[in-house]
A and B are shown apart, each in its own frame.
Chain A
């Protein structure tokens, strides 16, 4: 592999430094074999500019901390190898989320409020009995729940979402997927109607306009398109059910 010289153009802003104007700043780095944006940004911070803010935790694409815009597209920085991209690399923080500084955004607060809004926990009246065997579940069902539980809250789906850019109360694909995860969980006693209360609005499932950039940019390849369609269908039905039930009751009364 021939060595390249990489030029990074990185968005800089420190809201706590009055002398710091928002700007793009350039850094030049020699590419090394198997370099990723994690190794590159760490090098830039330690060798060129110790004030540069960005977020990495696991650096192995499981924690969701490091999503940013690489040449305009949302992706996980840790899983972006420099040999996959041109030698001029532009990095911006993810849009939609509150900026902390430079490439660092506050995804944590957004996802915490989302979890609160969708009441992201198993709702059950059954108590836990430490003395008894676990409740049974088919492996198929467990795998189906796990498949929807794989979201790492990186925020790429929201950064790419047209609705999210128009309305900041939109739950986004991540929020809707969370609902789907509990909807299929037999341990959760909430009914379709309960879920409809939470997401049967324009902030929820009916806000989605179907552009599906969320699906294209999800770094975990979550089945977002299928799940959004499933939720729409399911909750549209749930919204119909009370009147349908009423009509059926009227018919039954007449027949009687």
Chain B
């Protein structure tokens, strides 16, 4: 088997992975980045909204500071995050934005003069700030803080980042998938990797290995995530038996993914006055939330939508039930000017004219707050020489709910931090590799491949469908003890069946059925970890909503779930660690949801 040696191996070439690579390369280390796809096709590209950093250049961001950003982040997280991490993050975010500008990102800039906001309010942008980086509004923030590039912020960041990686001589090996980490229970030595061009296996030996593979959205039946976001990096970490995943039960949903395709349409639709309608074209949100109506928080709207569909008011379709988003009354001028992206998505992907027709939507998995647990420097728990960054990591900046625009910012800020940590660690650590460790990792992967080729009657896409249905139905926006127990049992059954996966096709070369079959067992284990963590957490916090425990419970649950999966165990092993609270004691989020939700749904249960 081909063996490749490097100082640093980064698994995943989205913004987080490439930012780590750049930092390590700038410190003089040789870096190889593995990626399922060419780096510029990474899911980071799809982040259109913005990158939060308190620059305070706009009229609507006057008075903004790292402190205000900190407060927004901690409240958003429902106090589930580590505050020392949040503090480090908000302090570094402005530097990260400016460095991206230095590297070439064409951030939109401040234009001096008066202008009218969508709600009619007039503001004056100052001449003194003209030409500095502009920002726009995002949900859950006190100030305008989301730096952006027109409608393609993620795209411009990814392209610029990849340019710099190229300039610094970072080697990208695309169409390559890490199947197992090489480790001895103490230290990580790299990964066993499958070449997705040829189907061959390769060994990568590295002094530092970084997991930056993004989220796991695709284990859910409906996700706004790219189709490559299957949690592969989290799964290989869990598979070590010693590396814990943090807060896997913290999963964010977005109220308006379109049907079919699950492409996200912006919250701006509701912000600007769009309605949600049911199968009778009845506007149902005022029935549940008389005051905030469609403008209640993301989580609340998602829950109301799912509840309403469960009452039989969903619109039936070959893709399952959905509801309607109605923006017709906003008028041509407003839609073409302020909701252009939405209009394009409707026309291009759905063949719908939103000026005259309703848009099919439903709540859709959006973001994973959980991931490979790291310390504040980005070093993974459990194995020396292992690190994680971005959505794949649980740093833990987001707690139980991520603030819009903090994900892009986290990828870059954390990438920078992790890169520095690696440079520090490599310089000071010993590295002695034993051949036995490589052999055992290789044998484990070869065994799985042989298993697929030789026996097994289970078909990967049947099991996969079942897994994603269970998650959507029982581990989604509503959770309760009964359904979570069922979910864990049913997923464990799938875990067992996945041991008997076989192939319908030849399996030769870069065969996609083999890729899917190699990934599925890890995905099922992530699903179990999510469901089991959610079952144990008998409270509601941020995006984790328990119908049977509708209130936040700081006395018992102001702590982080850590899940490992010891070899031969039937279930993940859960332990808990306290959340670091350094500045802001737990309080009300001020989203106006907790009381209303507890009042209404507590009664129903």
Q: Which residues of A contact B (CB under 8 A)?
A: 14-17, 19-20, 32-36, 38-39, 45-47, 49-53, 55-65, 78-79, 81, 83-84, 100-101, 104, 106-109, 111-112, 115-116, 119-122, 128, 130, 133-139, 141-143, 145-146, 149-150, 152-153, 185, 187-188
B40 an interface residue at 8 Å Cβ cutoff?
yes
A134-B98, A134-B101, A153-B40 known; A16 and B46 CB under 8 Å? Answer: no
- What are the residues of chain A within 8 A of B43 when measuring CB–CB? 57-58
Distance in angstroms between the alpha carbons of A136 and B37 in the assembled complex: 35
Known: A50-B516, A58-B226, A139-B109. A33 touches B37 (CB 8 A): no
Chain B residues at the A interface, C-beta cutoff of 8 Å: 37-38, 40-43, 45-46, 48, 95, 97-99, 101-104, 106-111, 130-134, 149-150, 152, 154-156, 159, 162-164, 166-167, 172, 174-175, 197-199, 226-228, 259-261, 263, 317-319, 345, 348-352, 360, 459-461, 465, 503-506, 508-513, 516
Q: How far, in Å, is B201 (CB) from chain A's closest CB?
A: 14
Given contacts A146-B152, A146-B156, contact A137 B506 (CB under 8 A): no
**Residue contacts A-B, CB under 8 angstroms, 18 given:** A50-B461, A53-B511, A57-B42, A58-B41, A59-B263, A62-B155, A106-B175, A107-B38, A108-B37, A109-B38, A121-B103, A130-B99, A133-B98, A134-B133, A136-B131, A142-B149, A143-B108, A146-B156
Q: Report whether B349 and A65 are in contact in the complex, using a CB–CB cutoff of 8 Å.
A: no
Chain B residues in 8 Å Cβ range of A100: 175, 197, 510
Structural contact, A145 and B106, CB atoms closer than 8 A: yes
* CB-CB under 8 A for A133 and B226, given A34-B351, A50-B504: no
Contacts of A137 in B (CB 8 A): 106, 109, 131
Task: Say yes or no: B106 contacts A53, CB within 8 Å.
Answer: no
Residues of B within 8 A of A149 (CB): 106, 149, 152, 155-156, 159
User: Chain A residues near B506 (CB, 8 Å)?
Assistant: 14, 17, 19-20, 51
Across-interface contacts of A52 in B (CB, < 8 A): 512
User: Is the Cβ of B134 less than 8 Å from the Cβ of A139?
Assistant: yes
Given contacts A50-B505, A65-B41, A146-B156, contact A121 B166 (CB under 8 A): yes
Cβ contact within 8 Å between A39 and B260: yes
Given A34-B350, A111-B40; A139-B108 close (CB under 8 Å) = yes
Whether B317 pairs with A33 at a CB distance below 8 angstroms is: yes
In the bound complex, residues from chain A placing their C-beta under 8 Å from that of B508 are: 14, 16-17, 20
Instruction: Tell me which of B134, B150, B198, B512 has the highest count of chain A C-beta atoms within 10 A of its own C-beta.
Output: B512
A60 close to B261 (CB less than 8 A):
yes
Q: In this complex, what residue of A is CB-closest to B262? A: A59
Q: Contacts of B175 on A, CB cut-off 8 Å?
A: 100, 106, 108
Q: How far is the CA of A84 from the CA of B347 in the complex (A)?
A: 12
CB-nearest residue of chain B to A154: B41
Extra inter-chain contacts (13) besides given A34-B351, A60-B261, A60-B349, CB under 8 Å: A14-B506, A16-B509, A46-B461, A46-B465, A57-B42, A57-B227, A62-B155, A63-B45, A112-B38, A122-B163, A133-B132, A138-B131, A185-B104
B319 CB contacts on chain A under 8 angstroms: 32
Given the known inter-chain contacts A50-B512, A57-B41, A128-B102, please indicate yes or no for A79 contacting B109, CB distance below 8 A: no
Interchain CB contact (< 8 A) of A187 among B40, B102, B349: B102
Minimum Cβ distance to chain A for residue B107 (Å): 6
B152–A62 touching, CB < 8 Å: yes
B109 to chain A: closest residue by CB: A139
A121:B163 contact, CB within 8 angstroms: yes
Contact A57:B228 (CB < 8 A) given known A49-B505, A65-B41: yes
**CA separation between A147 and B226, bound complex, in Å?**
24
Enumerate the 9 nearest inter-chain pairs by beta-carbon distance, A residue then B residue, closest first. Answer: A16-B509, A108-B38, A136-B131, A51-B505, A50-B513, A145-B106, A139-B109, A121-B163, A17-B508
Q: Tell me the complex Cα distance, A134–B106, Å.
A: 12
Knowing A17-B508, A83-B351, A134-B101 are in contact, say whether A33-B318 is a contact too (CB < 8 A).
yes
Q: Tell me which residues across on chain B come within 8 A of A15, comparing CB atoms.
A: 509
List the B side residues contacting A45 at CB < 8 Å. Answer: 461, 512
B226:A16 contact, CB within 8 angstroms: no
Distance in Å from the Cβ of B163 to the closest Cβ of chain A? 4
The residue in chain A whose Cβ has the minimal distance to the Cβ of B163 is A121
Q: Which residue of B lies closest to A145 (CB)?
A: B106
Residue in B132, B172, B318, B504 whose CB lies within 8 Å of A112: B172
In the bound complex, residues from chain A placing their C-beta under 8 Å from that of B130 are 136
Query: For the complex, what is the distance from the CA of A55 to the CA of B41, rounded to whole Å?
Result: 11
Query: Is the Cβ of B197 less than 8 Å from the Cβ of A146?
Result: no
Bound complex: CA A135 to CA B101 (Å): 8
Question: Could you tell me the distance in whole angstroms from the C-beta of B40 to the nearest C-beta in chain A?
Answer: 6
Residue pair A106, B109 in contact (C-beta under 8 Å): no
**Closest B residue to A61 using CB positions:** B348
Alpha-carbon distance A64/B110, docked complex (angstroms): 30
**How far does the alpha carbon of A121 sit from the alpha carbon of B167 in the complex, in Å?**
7
CA distance A13 to B199 in the complex (A): 15
Contact B38–A111 (Cβ < 8 Å): yes
Q: In the bound complex, do residue A53 and residue B41 qualify as a contact, i.e. CB atoms below 8 Å apart?
A: no
CB distance from A64 to the nearest CB of B (A): 6
How far does the Cβ of B353 sit from chain A's closest Cβ, in whole Å? Answer: 13
Q: How far is the CA of A108 from the CA of B131 in the complex (A)?
A: 35
Contact (A50, B172) CB under 8 Å given A63-B46, A142-B109, A146-B106: no
* Contact between chains at A122 and B103 (CB < 8 Å): yes
**Minimal Cβ-Cβ distance residue in B for A30:** B318
Q: How far is the CB of A146 from chain B (nearest CB, A)?
A: 4
- Residues of chain B within 8 A (CB-CB) of A49 are 505
Give the residue name and chain of the B residue nearest to A100 (CB).
B197
Q: Which of B102, B167, B459, B503 has the most CB of A within 10 A?
A: B102
Residue of A nearest to B37 (CB): A57
A145 to chain B: closest CB distance in Å?
Answer: 4
Whether B41 and A81, one on each chain, are in contact in the complex, defined by CB atoms closer than 8 angstroms, is no
Q: Decide if B261 touches A14 in the complex (CB within 8 Å).
A: no
B98: chain A residues at CB < 8 Å are 128, 130, 133-134
Q: Are B37 and A50 in contact (CB under 8 A)?
A: no
With A51-B505, A58-B226, A136-B131 as contacts: A63 and B109 at CB distance below 8 Å: no
Chain B residue nearest to A115 in the complex (CB): B166
- Chain B nearest CB from A7 CB (Å) reads 19
Chain B hits for A65, CB < 8 A: 37-38, 41
Closest to B344 in A: A61
Chain A residues near B103 (CB, 8 Å)?
121-122
Give A206 to B187 CA distance when docked, in angstroms.
Answer: 55
- Residues of chain B within 8 A (CB-CB) of A17 are 506, 508-509
Q: Is the pair A143, B106 in contact by a Cβ cutoff of 8 Å?
A: yes
Q: Which residues of A contact B133 (CB under 8 A)?
A: 134
User: Which residue of the partner chain, among B41, B108, B150, B504, contacts A63 with CB atoms under 8 Å?
Assistant: B41
Give bound CA distance, A116 to B171, whole Å: 12
